[in-house]
Amino acid sequence: METTSSEINTNQVEIDLGQQAEVETKPVHEATLYAEPIYHIGSFAITNALFTSWIAVFLIIIIAISLRRKLKEIPKGIQNFFEIILEGAFSLCDQVTGSRTITTKVFPLAISVFFFILINNWLGILPFGGFGLVEKGGAESVFIPFIRSGTADINTTLALSLMAVVGANIFGIISIGLWKTFNKYVNLKALAGIITKIRREPTVLVVAPVTFFVGVLELIGEFAKIASLSFRLFGNVFAGEVLLLSMSALLAYGLPIPFLFLEIFVGLIQAFIFSILVLVYFTIASQDHDEHDEHEEPAHAMT
């Protein structure tokens, strides 16, 4: 059979269109500020960040159970490794809190937060990028990875920050009482002192309103803590993932390796900073400022 020139041109157009369609439907992986859903249970969306957080919790449980079952009086192997880490961390907590009592109470929470954030940070940079879903949207297909660091999602870091700040205030209520904790922020005692001390100390007319206003600033500071904790952790981890993705796009082999080691270090530092701040917040919340003032008053009176 002879093939006409029109048939050849038609076939060539079909081939070009097919190649163009393949190019257009090639999956695209873009770094997004929000976590992408990978599964739905009814109306509840399971995102890749949530899935990674579940993996982190699962790994922590497995490690804890394994260590608990293999505890020995003379540690060796992985038990020895974790005992060295925990002893060093406990000693560091003593230096931060300045009190063995506070350290004993807060250390389990701080070390748990440390490991949760650390595993999340490191899971996000492991080479699991090839596992995911491909969703078709318009002319492009979007690739959604199964693994995304939980701390690269603002929802996770916000939840951790709320836990730290609210937990610190609850710890303060348990340690020094509800009334003293409340007076840290709404210092009614300072305002009441205007009536009781105005004859002996006229300066109380200036000092008391300033003291009350400082309490209001501390209340505002609690909300600022939530914002700073959540955005600091989220920003550093998300920026690291974007950096690795950008380097991989430029050159998939070799170039991302130095940045990968950098992000491993950054993930460790961010987990350390967050856990130390949790210790600091709990320590400050458990301190009774009125006791310090009572101890200082006789010294001022003697001078």
Q: State which residues form the domain around 187.
A: 17-302
Looking at residue 31, the DSSP 8-state letter turns out to be -
Residue among 139, 145, 130, 140 nearest 37 (CA): 145
Residue 250 lies in a domain: yes
Residue 71 lies in a domain: yes
Q: Is the pLDDT of residue 33 over 50?
A: yes
What is the arithmetic mean of pLDDT over 6-24?
A: 46
Domain count, the chain: 1
Residue 26 lies in a domain: yes
Summarize pLDDT for 165-205 with one digit per residue, the tens. Answer: 999 999 999 988 888 888 888 877 777 667 777 777 777 67
Q: Is the pLDDT of residue 95 over 70?
A: yes
Residue 142: predicted pLDDT = 67
| Amino acid type, 64 | A
Sign of CA dihedral 225, 229, 230, 235: positive
What is the arithmetic mean of pLDDT over 231-255?
A: 80
Residue 7 lies in a domain: no
Summarize pLDDT for 148-165 with one digit per residue, the tens. Answer: 888 988 999 999 999 999
Cα separation, 291 vs 159, in Å, equals 33
Confidence of residue 31 (pLDDT cuts 50, 70, 90): low
Cα separation, 209 vs 224, in Å, equals 22
What is the arithmetic mean of pLDDT over 289-299?
A: 51
Residue 9 lies in a domain: no
| Amino acid type, 301 | A
Cα separation, 270 vs 45, in Å, equals 28
Residue 281 lies in a domain: yes
Cα separation, 66 vs 107, in Å, equals 21
| Mean of the per-residue pLDDT values of the chain | 78
Find the helix packing angle between 48-69 and 78-97, rounded to 10°. Answer: 110
Confidence of residue 139 (pLDDT cuts 50, 70, 90): low
What are phi and psi for residue 174, nearest 5 degrees?
Answer: -65, -35
Residues with Cβ within 8 Å of residue 116, at least 6 apart in sequence: 53, 56, 57, 60
Confidence of residue 19 (pLDDT cuts 50, 70, 90): very low
What is the arithmetic mean of pLDDT over 214-230?
A: 88
Residue 134 lies in a domain: yes
Burial classification of residue 260, based on how many CB atoms lie within 10 Å of its CB (0-12 exposed, 13-18 middle, 19 or more buried): middle
Residue 243: predicted pLDDT = 82
Around Cβ 161, how many Cβ atoms within 10 Å? 23
Contact 281, 168 (CB under 8 A): yes
Residue 211 lies in a domain: yes
Burial classification of residue 87, based on how many CB atoms lie within 10 Å of its CB (0-12 exposed, 13-18 middle, 19 or more buried): exposed
Contact 229, 161 (CB under 8 A): yes
Confidence of residue 22 (pLDDT cuts 50, 70, 90): very low
Strand-strand pairing, 37-41 and 44-47 = antiparallel
Cα separation, 93 vs 282, in Å, equals 11
More reliable by pLDDT, 70 or 272: 272
